[in-house]
Amino acid sequence: MNTPATSIPDQKRIGMVSLGCPKALVDSERILTRLRADGYAFAEDYAGADVVLVNTCGFLDSAKEESLAAIGEAIAENGRVIVTGCMGEEADAIRAAHPQVLAVTGAHQYEQVVEAVHTHAPPTQGPFVDLIPQPSENDIKLTPRHYSYLKISEGCNHSCAFCIIPQLRGKLASRRIDAVLREAEKLVAAGTRELLIISQDTSAYGVDIRHESRDWKGNPVRAHMTDLARELGGLRTPEGTPPWVSLHYVYPYPHVDQVIPLMADGLLTPYLDIPFQHASPKVLKLMKRPANEAKVLERLKSWRDICPDIAIRSSFVVGFPGETEEDFQYLLNWLEEAQLDRVGAFRFEPVEGASANALPDPVPEAIKEERYARIMEVTERISAAKLAAKVGRTLPVIIDEVGEPDEDGDIGATGRSQADAPQIDGAVYLRNVPASLAPGAIVNVTIEDSDAHDLYGVIAG
């Protein structure tokens, strides 16, 4: 009996556990894409894998603990494990905890990961290998079909006191703008309805390559955040509609002002993710933050004057060494005035290799907890008021999931407004949707209710 042309005898299978941020998820997609091109298939569970890849996070001690636990689980369930990602820079610590690992590589070291897989699970050599389609860079997606993360650069030039990203991922390395735009165009053509632009510092895109120009569709385009935003705003889906395009990890440099009119014109999603981290000038100086916060409140007001629907998300660190009650109260007062739409807060954790560890006046853990509870109380109250103001409005919502009919035959769905990034912000819960509704659809929803984080509504008639 002849072997069907679609199968490969003894094809090796790879398992993947991907931890950490969206940037790491993109790394996982690229590794799997390369491995598929080399003839590998993918396992849905530990038992079916010839080798398991664990893409780790190493930013905080809690993330390292999670990574070590994931490695331990993969070893227990499968036994053949290759480790990569940010914590891969600490190979000695990984091998001390789990000496059975087959190989350890660092962040975005794609070639080394593939070599390790080839060594420990050699690809099948046979007459069908050359017939395997060679996929483009982002053919394999670990996100749903309707949204995609688009990484525009790697690494970071800053030296923030609490961060070791430059040690883990190196200095800023921007991608060619024509390559970024080509990938974006392919993603949208393949069904992506929402592009989330990510990097370590999106505002600095192109600085390392002196904002070089490349030809794109007959015109020169600079490797610069504003040029990139403008070109992405010109993308269209196969149906002729603009996809949602949102900017993440944006430091508030002056040129950010130039993208706000694009949001007002509907070319960009009216959403900015800006990692402010604190507001007290003293704490910001201790943190070695790169951006000047002095006029941020004025700029927020200006942005809202230009684009009233703009949503600002940020994150803040509480309990940084040297943070006094006065500093923390300054932050709370600033948040009351800034009225940010989405806020995440983190208790300061010492990270091995970070300069903040040597700062005097550490904040006791009990005070960190108390301040964390206070900042969450303030930001939840602000969020609840902002969401309540949307009740009665009709908003565009992208559908992430459609449920099964209940006992009355009603079908519910979960989606997000343009103020909500996936798995980070809130959701919009819909009732009584048609059975034909599918993930990725963008529908107009009349908002009927709200709470501190989410909206509730029905598709507009």
What is the pLDDT, as a whole number, of residue 2? Answer: 38
- pLDDT number for residue 29: 81
Q: What's the confidence (pLDDT) of residue 130?
A: 40
User: Cα torsion at 175, 178, 182, 183 (round to 10°)?
Assistant: 10
Alpha-carbon distance of 284 to 327, in angstroms, equals 10
Q: What is the predicted pLDDT for the residue at 357?
A: 82
- Quote the tokens at residue 247: 């900017």
Confidence (pLDDT) at 110:
76
Tens-place pLDDT, residues 159-187: 788 877 777 778 899 999 999 999 999 99
Nearest to 225 by CA among 208, 206, 210, 245: 206
What is the fold, at CATH topology level, of the domain defined by 394-459?
A: OB fold (Dihydrolipoamide Acetyltransferase, E2P) (2.40.50)
For 147-388, CATH number out of 3.80.30.20, 2.130.10.10, 3.40.718.10, 3.30.70.590 equals 3.80.30.20
In this prediction, residue 5 carries a pLDDT of 39
Identify the pLDDT of residue 290: 60
Residue with tokens 């087959």: 102
pLDDT at 3: 35
- H or E, element range at 15: strand 13-18
Q: What is the pLDDT of residue 128?
A: 41
CB atoms near residue 4 (< 10 Å): 7
The model carries a pTM of 0.77
Rounded Cα–Cα distance for residues 333 and 341 (Å) = 15
What are the residue ranges spanned by the domains of the chain? 13-131, 147-388, 394-459
Low-confidence ranges of the chain (pLDDT < 70): 1-10, 108, 124-142, 290-294
Would you state the structure tokens that stand for residue 380, as one six-digit string?
């939840």
Rounded Cα distance between 449 and 461, Å, is 17
- Helix (H) or strand (E) run with residue 228 in it: helix 225-232
Find, among 195, 308, 205, 202, the residue nearest to 260 by Cα: 308
Burial of 315 (0-12, 13-18, 19+ CB in 10 A): middle
Q: What is the pLDDT of residue 158?
A: 80
CATH number of 13-131: 3.40.50.12160
Question: Residue 127's pLDDT is what?
Answer: 40
Backbone φ and ψ for 180, nearest 5 degrees, come out as: -65, -45
Q: Say if CB 428 and CB 414 are below 8 A apart.
A: yes
